[in-house]
Amino acid sequence: MNQQVIVDIIEGIMKPLGDYARLMRLDRPIGIWLLLWPTLWGLWIAADGHPDSTIFAVFVAGVIVMRSAGCVFNDFADRKLDPLVARTKHRPLAAGTTTPIEALALCAALLMVALGLALTLNRLTLLLALGGAVLTLIYPFAKRYFAAPQFILGAAFGWAIPMAFAAQTGTVPQLAWLMWLAVVIWAVCYDTMYAMADRNDDLKIGIKSTAILFGQADVFIVGMLQLTLLLALKFIGDQAGLGGWYSLSLLAAAALMIYQLVLIRERVPDKCFAAFLNNRHIGAVVFAGIFLDYALV
């Protein structure tokens, strides 16, 4: 077997693997961060700063697997729409480098891995995980029929919080649902920014979003939602008994929110997308505050 044949074989293996990785959006980890940070908020508060190491590992792995499954299924659902949008037309399904059958098989495999992870946890957490999977599969179609699909996305992205409490404590207290609601509000904020970048294309192809629903009031409404989020996070900190470090983290989060509003005020698509990406820092600073408060008590 000559060298060129070996190279051809390797390329034949690596190319589809690269397409699958892009289908799972592993080259764009922003979604992992936006899902991981609230998961860690929930784990740390549920465990009073000392989460079980096995539960921690299961949840981190679950974040990566479920976000990947969600991206694959979203691209399958949008395979006829993505070629019409400049930002998404090069995705593997839109570009024809991966087939719909391959995408469904990959999604099924990822969901089986996620189920295997959930089976290591208690029954309540497993039942909640099934609900989270339903939300993940509903969201791609909500964009066609629901004027504010960002609320469905937020419900899915925050679902790991009640799961974290269930896994750590065996119950889902009121605090967990308050944290879940805060994540829903946060997701509406950042995904509206994301949708503002795509608004013109979405209007052409009939995709619904809060950016379209809010219209010219989009920046103002996002600002009000960010203020509501800060108040919710402050109340969560009070209920959880968090102190000074957490309060400092909320001040840092508020500064980041102001920066995001500056970015989106003229509705320039690239700046709106930059504001969306900046939300990973909000998740990080809030977690830093939670972590330091428990670690330095």
Q: What is the pLDDT of residues 113-149, one digit of tens each?
A: 999 999 999 999 999 999 999 998 899 899 888 999 9
Phi and psi of 50, rounded to 5°?
-135, 70
Share of the chain above pLDDT 90, in %: 79
Cα–Cα distance between 173 and 215 in angstroms, integer?
Answer: 37
pTM of the model: 0.91
**What was the pLDDT predicted at 134?**
93
Per residue in 153-164, pLDDT tens?
999 999 999 999
pLDDT band at 36 (very low <50, low <70, confident <90, very high): very high
pLDDT of 230 > 60? The answer is yes
**What was the pLDDT predicted at 94?**
87
Per residue in 201-212, pLDDT tens?
888 888 899 999
Measured CA to CA in angstroms, residue 224 lies from 108, 155, 227, 253, 268 at distances of 39, 19, 5, 15, 20
Measured CA to CA in angstroms, residue 9 lies from 12, 96, 288 at distances of 5, 21, 46
Top-level class of domain 3-295: mainly alpha
Rounded mean pLDDT, 249-260 = 98
Rounded mean pLDDT, 108-115 = 95
pLDDT of 2 > 70? The answer is no
Residue 270 or 87, more confident: 270
238, 279, 36, 25 alpha-carbon torsion, rounded to 10°: 170
pLDDT of 275 > 70? The answer is yes
Cα–Cα distance between 64 and 74 in angstroms, integer?
Answer: 15
